[in-house]
Amino acid sequence: MTRRVCIIDTDPGTDDALAIWLALAAPQLDVRLVTVAGGNVGIDHTLRNARAIIGLARQPVPVVAGAQGPLLGAFRSETQVHGADGLAGVALPEGPPAAPGIAADAIRDLLRAEPRVTLIGIGPATNLALALATEPALIGHVEEIVLMTGAWSEGNITASAEFNAWSDPESLAMLLECGRPVTLATLELTGQALVTPDRIAALRAAGGGACLDAAARILAAVPPSRRFGHRGHPLHDPCAIAWLIDPTLFTHRDVHVHVECGGIARGRTVVDRWARGGAAANARLLDTLDADGFFALLTGRLASLA
């Protein structure tokens, strides 16, 4: 089996933690680098969290700090879901030190060294956009860009915008127009991955090591979502990883996506699901998810970690 060489760009974040562990546990993926931005919480927290997440998995993947905020506009965190520390108050052991350097430089270095790299963005897109914008010749080394971002109906940070897209819409727009395949896991898709008490119980019952135990504690600490009638909360970022591990869990369609970068609709992703506008498709939209299969994959993989 040929393993995909991957970079994960992240802002941990409760769901980011599970996404990173899922990627590290997947034999299909070769995670070479984790880059970090400010997002769910400030970069001091997200960098510490990323280091702890990698450390708990006992895998020697370098973690590199990047952008503290968006290309334009002000930084704003989202502590209502993720807590002030980003991990909903779940304490993890201190991880290894961050690798030296800056995220955009580290991304470019790996792209120079590898002919085919998959970029996985599960936070604001700033680091990825900076890396590609400052050395466009490397875009040809990008195999696929997989992003948890956007929404085609309603948002979760404003009435119309999803948090990652709203945090840096200019960077997201750059990625969508870079000419490489882009796959989007939007809120409509991730809402199908609903974490319920029964699914947390099944995760705990699987046994396993410290990562699975921490994952169960994190999921239990996230408050249930009002959008879902308090039945549970959506597990966003692992959906992007699951696409790369088992695409048979998903249906998808090719769409054109425009990102609003100003005004009251800043961060809105206008997704033409039915090709009404006639513009060429610039993204693959993940449409439906086999939720039971997804949680079985997540549980089985996390149980295999340390």
Is 236 assigned a catalytic role? yes
Angle, helices 291-303 vs 238-245, to 10°: value is: 90
The answer to pTM > 0.95 is yes
Nearest to 46 by CA among 79, 5, 21: 79
Q: Is the pLDDT of residue 16 over 80?
A: yes
* Mean pLDDT within 224-248: 96
Going by C-beta distance under 8 Å and a sequence separation of 6 or more, which residues neighbour residue 293? 246, 249
Of 45, 82, 236, 256, catalytic: 236
Q: Is the pLDDT of residue 65 over 80?
A: yes
Residue 192 pLDDT level (bands cut at 50, 70, 90): very high
Burial class (CB in 10 A: 0-12, 13-18, 19+), 28: middle
What pLDDT is stored for residue 306 in this prediction?
74
Domain of 10, CATH number, reads 3.90.245.10
Which range of residues forms the domain containing residue 247? Answer: 4-303
Residue 51 pLDDT level (bands cut at 50, 70, 90): very high
Q: Please give the share of the chain, as a percent, with pLDDT higher than 70.
A: 100
What span, in angstroms and rounded, lies between the C-alpha atoms of 142 and 244?
Answer: 15
What pLDDT is stored for residue 2 in this prediction?
87
CA-based end-to-end distance of the chain? 23
Cβ atoms of 247 and 274 within 8 Å: the answer is: no
The total number of structural domains in the chain stands at 1
What span, in angstroms and rounded, lies between the C-alpha atoms of 81 and 14?
Answer: 8
Going by C-beta distance under 8 Å and a sequence separation of 6 or more, which residues neighbour residue 1? 27, 28
* Mean pLDDT within 194-223: 95
Strands 269-272 and 250-259: antiparallel
Nearest to 295 by CA among 183, 230, 162, 206: 206
Q: Dump pLDDT digits (tens) for 112-152.
A: 999 999 999 999 999 999 999 999 999 999 999 999 999 99
Going by C-beta distance under 8 Å and a sequence separation of 6 or more, which residues neighbour residue 36? 9, 10, 11, 12, 43, 46, 47, 50, 63, 64, 65, 66, 98, 103, 127
DSSP collapsed to 3 states, 22-50 = HHHCCCCEEEEEEEECCCCCCHHHHHHHH
Amino acid letter at 306? A
Residue-wise burial string across 249-288, b where 16 or more C-beta atoms lie within 10 A, e elsewhere: bbebeebbbbbbbeeebbbbbebbeeeeeeeeebbbbbee
E strand or H helix that includes residue 14: helix 14-24
DSSP 8-state symbol, 185: E
* Mean pLDDT within 101-120: 98
